[in-house]
Structure 1
Amino acid sequence: MIAATRLEGTLIERVDSADWDALTAEVNEYGSALTGRLLTPEECAAITALYNDAERFRTTVDMARHRFGSGQYRYFTHELPDEVRELREAFYPHLLPVARDWAAKLGRPAPWPDSLKEWLAHCHEAGQSKSAQILLRYGAGDWNALHRDVFGEAVFPLQVVIGLDAPGVDYSGGEFITTEQRPRAQSRGSSTTLPQGHGLIFTTRDRPVASRRGWSTAPMRHGVSTVRSGRRHTLGLVFHEAT
């Protein structure tokens, strides 16, 4: 049995209290960064239990059917659970400076306003009006193919996945994996074991990397390695809407 873990403060305060200078430096260097614990095991279990409440979701996707891998995930409706809504709202202002910095380095527009509410309204005006917040479930033998969560022209360049089960206890395998296509070089891969209650910030589509000519674009993809045993749940926080 996993012992109860006490965390102080609201979800927003927990996100705010992270070492954002260190997280930003790691995201800039590697395209991803692991946060400290944001959710207790009890809070993780409560979010996981939502998976069986079909009315909270707008659609369910069988990954094998669509050749996305193997496993299942569900997109929340816009009536987000408080925990999901608060976490997304908490992360956005901390990720926004990184997004704007990356856009400047790559000579791209930075259309993201100061508030998440305004940005989501922009997504809706661009024809992306469906919730992209996602709860994923993997069993033994399941995996997620390398992909990008891009649904249209309105894209936020970073997103967050939060582990809801304990690796090595509830499941084995199932590492979060990324690949980065380096300019004029072989691709670079990385894997992260996602601790329960911790978040991983990662690149949605591409990111800037330094080159002799300034800054170059490095396309990135993400996925999940094969779960060898048990069951793995994660919460995906996406900062743009789907079509």
Structure 2
Amino acid sequence: MKVMRSSTAKVVVVFVGEGLMTPFLRDYMTQNITGIQWLASEALVTASVFSGREYYPYMGGTIGFGIRKGHIPTLGDFLQSVNPKRYPDNVLVHELWESLYGCSPFPSSVTQMPSCSGQESLLEQHSAYMNTSSPSVAYNVYKAVYAIAHSLHNLILCQPGRGPFQNNSCAQSNNIHPWQLQHYLQEVNFQIGGEVVDFDAKGDSVPYYDIINWQRGTEGNIEFVNVGLFDGTKAVGQKLLIQEDRIMWAGHQSEASCTHCVFTFIRCQLLMFCRLRWS
């Protein structure tokens, strides 16, 4: 912090999660250090714990990669249909009900909670559970499930004598080994939500990232605004798209001081991150 206070450098790259950033930021705010343009790592840039209005003077203008959000059709309808009566053997649903309602549809001496029907209605106060507006992590799980489904589909369609394994054999559909499924998983190629899902020789998927900018909301809090994207399917030189006119920089400035050098530095750092992660 002493260096950050005295240095003429005003762009700081931070690779840290919210857990380690919290105590640092507490002291940073106490010392009233401002004017730093933060370039945040993926783990930090969508950390909602820092969205309160008290953080904006110190963290406003932060920019970095975030896991790309995507739309999961009918997810909200499905969440509203979940209850312990419908899924009586699902331990996670039981735990969810105990957390939401403080009761158990299947009371026992272990839970020591009052009983309930297990068909209670999900109410507005359960917004954390029902919020599907930013399912970035869930969207990747969604794509992963489809990748497994496509792999199983291709595995089952294998014709004996034309298979990919020893002596052109196929996997047995009633006795599938993980390495057999992995073979098909590495060969999947499909589209979902307009995105290509496939894997390279190293097992990495095609990278998609939103570029997130921390801007001030109507109530003074921090909102995570999408100002660009990284699309690994594009040609070299076209993978990174940043909408410069939408960026709010540190100090609530629509233009960065020394705009060209700061923006060029940030663009280079983002591209370097992509090369290190995906090359």
Structure with more strand by fraction: 1
Instruction: Tell me which of the two structures has the higher relative contact order, counting C-alpha pairs closer than 8 angstroms and 6 or more residues apart.
Output: 1
TM-score by length of 1: 0.23
